[in-house]
Chains A and B, each alone.
Chain A
Amino acid sequence: MAAPKSVAVFFAVLNLISLLPFIAFSFSPDQPTDRKILVLLDDLSLKSSHSIFFNTLQSRGFDLDFKLADDPSIAVKRYGQYLYDGLVLFSPSADRFGGSLNIEGVLDFVDSGHDLILAGDSNASDLIRNIAAECGVEFDEDTSAMVIDHAGYAVSETEGDHTLIASDEFIQSDVILGSKKLEAPVLFKGIGHSLNPENSLVLKVLSASSSAYSANPTSKLSNPPSLTGTSISLVSVVQARNNARIMISGSLGLFSNRLFRSGVQKIGSLNKYEKSGNEQFVTELSKWIFHERGHLKAVHLKHNKIGETEEPSIYRINDDLEFSVEIFEWSGTSWVPYVANDVQVQFYMMSPYVLKTLSTNQKGLYHTSFKVPDVYGVFQFKIEYQRLGYTTLSLSKQVNIHSCVSFHKFC
């Protein structure tokens, strides 16, 4: 009797142990911050040349899994489950990935709600370009082109070809770049890209100055460059509709220890900074990308007649109702109340019949009350909250509105 029982206990414990990592580290709606990240590298030396970036990630609790881009053991998915929450592609020259991963695999990874950091560089492969193009970012078609800025390059010992540029044209968003203002310009040496105008989700985070252009620095400019001025984006982000976040940079060097540490002085500027803005920029941006910031959740969508607490399945026209929802923001470690004065609810049937701004109690609860319009039909309480940097809140709850019937108990 005793033996089988102990075996059973043993297996139960074994099960628990094997489950533990999943419980502790898997990405979940309750803990939106990523845990496990796969880093694909062109060359293992990148591990040391970009160690500051990787170390900050690891110190923030991320579990990094380094692999060569052509490692045949690469697998992001097993038995239909994703093994990673995030993917860092520091392999601008990889023509194909090892293992089972391919471009569709990367896009599926994103489309199932996971995050991606993609670094291109001059001579970026078609694979990297195609992934970027699928995310709404078009790298300059000329493979040898780089961003050149004769009026915005970073001062250095050698004159150089002005491809190391210092940019301080950041996106104006505390959510994406953190509340601490970036003082120093960011050093960038790499290729530029443009945003596909059809894509409404892609955002320019770091853009080139109006004097920049994209061309091959070694050859003489024969044709007008295809990308010029502020339309060149250096670093862009996409927040997909499923709230997966993508960062696309035209430079792998942006993340490197060398540029992190180097001082910066922009040409024509008297301010000389001891340290470039790269570390702060990349760190803060990675916090956003891996959902340590700017992640909202709306819960407890509730509606009821005034004076009641039960949620009815049907309202009568001209009923007075109360609506409330709780919205929290993820601080990186816990959910804190989200405070804003611009959250609106729609009472919607083909078009909004009621549109009201919700008032908040500063503790995450948003509420309002209104009168049901004099129209019967299938209505929805709809919250469509889209703010720069924040995850999109899109909730709806269906409810029937019925006119009053003469002789029954409802009236």
Chain B
Amino acid sequence: MVSSKMEKSPADLLASPGLSSMLKSLKLKTKQQELLIRVSILFLVYVLAFIARLFSVLRYESMIHEFDPYFNYRVTQYLTQKGFYEFWNWFDSESWYPLGRIVGGTLYPGLMVTAAFIYWTLRFLRFAVHIREVCVLTAPFFAANTTLVAYFFGKELWDSGAGLVAAALIAICPGYISRSVAGSYDNEGVAIFALLLTFYLFVKAVNTGSLAWGLASALGYFYMVSAWGGYVFIINLIPLYVLVLLITGRYSMRLYVAYNCMYVLGTLLAMQIRFVGFQHVQSGEHMAAMGMFFLMQVFYFLDWVKYLLNDPKKFHSFLRITVTSAVGLGAIALGVGTASGYISPWTGRFYSLLDPTYAKDHIPIIASVSEHQPTAWSSFMFDFHILLILFPAGLYFCFKRLSDATIFIVMYGLTSMYFAGVMVRLILVATPAVCLISAIAVSATVKNLTQLVRAKSKPASGGSGKGAASAKVLSKGSLDQSMPFQKNGAVALLLGVFYLLSRYAIHCTWVTSEAYSSPSIVLAARGANGNRVIFDDYREAYFWLRQNTPPDAKVMSWWDYGYQITAMGNRTVIVDNNTWNNTHIATVGRAMSSYEDEAYEIMRSLDVDYVLVVFGGVTGYSSDDINKFLWMVRIGGGVFPVIKEPDYLVNGEYRVDKGAAPKMLNCLMYKLSYYRFGELTTEYGKPPGYDRARGVEIGNKDIKLEHLEEAFTTSNWIVRIYKVKPPNNRW
């Protein structure tokens, strides 16, 4: 640090003879200078990655965001309070009433254990932090760590220049920030770090053929398995990569060591996670890796036979027999395993990745989630910006300099880009690959251009900081000097690159600040005067539940709000965001879409005491229950055919105004959302009962409730809670 300060103020340096001699000695060691600059840049990128994710804390407060993170937070609290064994054995009776949920066996504990470990470490070091602060900052911390991994990965793939660019790109890439801002305490926050680490270590193992790196990648894989269900991507991508290497004739002992070590140890370790268990040897999704493992042995065996035989003709016939019998055996084993039910078939989620239309037809519960929708082009542009253009350029560079490592990154990039196109949320998985490949493009381009610039006037090099950094790491290359105005062109292009990169930085900051830092539990809107209006209705409602209802009260709501109700309201819910039981969710969907007296029977059978609905008609909040209602009908109708979607539509159109379907106007969800709404004037110049979220006057203003009574409505009507009345005393 001291020396970097000196560099910045040469005038001061020259004034003192002692320092100038130090500078002289510094100047002698160019390697060290380069290392110093590299470390400083990496350090700055590290800090940048962390602080860029703190917008949400500054704008709002240090709080947990959205839906799933609330469950993770609650589990982490439990873990830190009760200890690891209690956590592992936790049977949660507050969710999925009356089925309950065995939490320890149905989650990926990596995130919670990580946060608890950080918490315990800080406590041990006598930092009196609250567990919430740790949870809020876990994702930014791991995002910062990811930049380091990206640097080393880039270095492994190309050179350290590409590594630095990759670190800088991934530090602020919106596709990653969207899932790792402060407060976004979700599995993905640590999983992307684990994913990239595993890939890096595996590539390193392939490049070196070292057992140690193979072991390291197995450990990385273990961490990934413990953290996120997305590990299935790793366990399928790596065999695919190995297969490509085998086909292209790049089989080597390095690959053999790396893959076998990673696969065997990784599988054994992954089995220790209860939620995963024996899936590695029993589920169809993991069979590719196992098949590849056996294929590798066959290859090794063939190599050995070839060495022994020394006769190409004999070997050729031997090869034919061995390959045929190996493939045949494998196919028979797979067939028998599947037929006997030992190997489970692919799950619906896996199918829906391979076939984007599958979920829509077969699993409405997956299709109903907005982040499972196919990605629009605009969101690619939004999340990647210039990387979208640099990505193909990077692929070009990778193909130009093919190696085991670049083949890997190309495959990672292409497959993850496909998955990103299938589901919006998988942009996240593609982001590291896109950043790395783009970094190769930027680094290689800038390197070539600076070489051109430096070719004629070497002393003039080292203009801007970044250019110098890239130039420093140049290796010598031959220059083609046949083109006229080459130098000017190169300078212009360099300026263009810097312009693009600075636009990228501006875009990322803007996106982070505007789009990805909203906690979604607190809503913000612009008032008429441009001032910021905060709607804190969710927490108001959950706090009301916590304070005013009996501790064993059961709350029915659509599953989106389940985690929040249990975490913030501390009350039992019927269904929550862990959508493991479709029938139970369908029962709730059926209750919401039935008439009140039918719904009352269902609610009585589930011991429901309170019903919670989210309603945006007053504020214009559009992701409310009325807009989600068709999914409730579809999911409910998927299990209970008495619920039919056309009953709620008029000529295929979903309406809530006077022209709405009669069943729609009288179903429980409509009644609970619009109860007493007909008396309210929401907007000047509009009739009472004007729904601002849908822009219509509602069709049923005279709503009478028979079996439920309004218990609480938040100040902006966003959350409405109703009490289920006991059966009539005298009837």
| Interface set of A (CB-CB < 8 Å, partner B) | 107, 110-111, 134-136, 198-201, 238, 240-242, 244, 246, 314, 349-350, 376-380, 398, 400-403, 405, 408-410
Q: Please, which residues of chain B bring their CB within 8 A of the CB of A201?
A: 730-731
Q: Please, which residues of chain B bring their CB within 8 A of the CB of A244?
A: 729
Q: Please, which residues of chain B bring their CB within 8 A of the CB of A376?
A: 91, 99-100, 102
Q: Please, which residues of chain B bring their CB within 8 A of the CB of A134?
A: 730
Our pick among B102, B552, B726, B728 for the contact of A402 (Cβ within 8 Å) is B102
Q: How long is the Cα–Cα vector from A201 to B731 in the complex, in angstroms?
A: 6
- Closest CB in chain B relative to A246 CB, distance in Å: 8
- Closest CB in chain A relative to B85 CB, distance in Å: 5
Q: How long is the Cα–Cα vector from A376 to B97 in the complex, in angstroms?
A: 11
Categorize the interface residue count of chain B. Answer: 20 to 34
On whether A378 and B731 interact (CB within 8 A), knowing A350-B605, A410-B89, the answer reads no
Q: Does B88 contact A (CB under 8 A)?
A: yes
A377–B98 touching, CB < 8 Å = yes
Q: Please, which residues of chain A bring their CB within 8 A of the CB of B728?
A: 241
Q: Does B550 contact A (CB under 8 A)?
A: no
On whether A198 and B731 interact (CB within 8 A), knowing A378-B93, A408-B89, the answer reads yes
Contact with A along B602-631 (1 / 0, CB 8 A): 000110000000000000000000000000
B91–A400 touching, CB < 8 Å = yes
Q: Please, which residues of chain A bring their CB within 8 A of the CB of B105?
A: 405
Across the A-B interface, the 8 shortest Cβ-Cβ residue pairs? A402-B91, A378-B98, A111-B729, A240-B729, A378-B93, A405-B89, A349-B98, A377-B99
24 A-B residue pairs with Cβ-Cβ distance under 8 Å, sorted by A, are A110-B729, A110-B730, A136-B730, A136-B731, A201-B731, A240-B730, A241-B726, A241-B730, A242-B729, A246-B730, A349-B98, A349-B99, A350-B606, A376-B99, A376-B100, A377-B99, A400-B91, A400-B93, A400-B100, A402-B102, A405-B104, A408-B85, A408-B89, A409-B85
Q: Please, which residues of chain B bring their CB within 8 A of the CB of A238?
A: 730
Q: How long is the Cα–Cα vector from A380 to B572 in the complex, in angstroms?
A: 15
B730–A314 touching, CB < 8 Å = no
Chain B 2-59 interface residues, beta-carbon cutoff 8 Å to A: none
Q: Please, which residues of chain A bring their CB within 8 A of the CB of B100?
A: 376-378, 400-402
- Closest CB in chain A relative to B254 CB, distance in Å: 38
Q: How long is the Cα–Cα vector from A380 to B552 in the complex, in angstroms?
A: 13
Contact with A along B75-95 (1 / 0, CB 8 A): 000000000010011010100
Q: How long is the Cα–Cα vector from A242 to B85 in the complex, in angstroms?
A: 44
Q: How long is the Cα–Cα vector from A350 to B554 in the complex, in angstroms?
A: 14
Q: Please, which residues of chain B bring their CB within 8 A of the CB of A135?
A: 730
Q: Please, which residues of chain B bring their CB within 8 A of the CB of A314?
A: 91
Q: Please, which residues of chain B bring their CB within 8 A of the CB of A350?
A: 98, 605-606
B85–A241 touching, CB < 8 Å = no
Other than the known A400-B91, A400-B93, what 13 A-B pairs have Cβ atoms closer than 8 Å? A110-B730, A111-B730, A240-B729, A240-B730, A241-B729, A246-B730, A349-B98, A350-B605, A350-B606, A376-B102, A378-B100, A402-B102, A403-B102
Q: Please, which residues of chain A bring their CB within 8 A of the CB of B605?
A: 350
Q: Please, which residues of chain A bring their CB within 8 A of the CB of B99?
A: 349, 376-378
Q: How long is the Cα–Cα vector from A405 to B91 in the complex, in angstroms?
A: 10
Q: How long is the Cα–Cα vector from A378 to B105 in the complex, in angstroms?
A: 17
Q: Please, which residues of chain B bring their CB within 8 A of the CB of A403?
A: 102
Q: Does B312 contact A (CB under 8 A)?
A: no
Q: How long is the Cα–Cα vector from A335 to B93 in the complex, in angstroms?
A: 37
Q: Does B727 contact A (CB under 8 A)?
A: yes
Q: How long is the Cα–Cα vector from A278 to B409 in the complex, in angstroms?
A: 98
Q: How long is the Cα–Cα vector from A377 to B98 in the complex, in angstroms?
A: 6
Q: Please, which residues of chain A bring their CB within 8 A of the CB of B89?
A: 402, 405, 408, 410
Nearest B residue to A135 by beta-carbon distance? B730
- Closest CB in chain B relative to A115 CB, distance in Å: 13
Our pick among A199, A349, A402, A405 for the contact of B730 (Cβ within 8 Å) is A199
Q: Please, which residues of chain A bring their CB within 8 A of the CB of B730?
A: 107, 110-111, 134-136, 199, 201, 238, 240-241, 246
- Closest CB in chain B relative to A127 CB, distance in Å: 17
Q: How long is the Cα–Cα vector from A107 to B728 in the complex, in angstroms?
A: 12
Q: How long is the Cα–Cα vector from A201 to B728 in the complex, in angstroms?
A: 11
A241–B727 touching, CB < 8 Å = yes
Nearest B residue to A200 by beta-carbon distance? B731
A378–B97 touching, CB < 8 Å = yes
- Closest CB in chain B relative to A356 CB, distance in Å: 20
- Closest CB in chain A relative to B362 CB, distance in Å: 26
- Closest CB in chain A relative to B691 CB, distance in Å: 35
Contact with A along B685-726 (1 / 0, CB 8 A): 000000000000000000000000000000000000000001
- Closest CB in chain A relative to B275 CB, distance in Å: 13
Q: How long is the Cα–Cα vector from A36 to B85 in the complex, in angstroms?
A: 58
Chain B 101-139 interface residues, beta-carbon cutoff 8 Å to A: 102, 104-105
Q: How long is the Cα–Cα vector from A198 to B597 in the complex, in angstroms?
A: 14
Nearest B residue to A239 by beta-carbon distance? B730
B731–A379 touching, CB < 8 Å = no
Q: Which of A200, A201, A246: most chain B Cβ within 10 A?
A: A201
Nearest A residue to B572 by beta-carbon distance? A378
A379–B98 touching, CB < 8 Å = yes
Q: How long is the Cα–Cα vector from A369 to B552 in the complex, in angstroms?
A: 27
Q: Which of A198, A201, A402: most chain B Cβ within 10 A?
A: A402
Our pick among A110, A242, A377, A405 for the contact of B88 (Cβ within 8 Å) is A405
A398–B552 touching, CB < 8 Å = yes
- Closest CB in chain A relative to B96 CB, distance in Å: 8
Q: How long is the Cα–Cα vector from A377 to B99 in the complex, in angstroms?
A: 4
Q: How long is the Cα–Cα vector from A244 to B730 in the complex, in angstroms?
A: 9
- Closest CB in chain A relative to B604 CB, distance in Å: 12
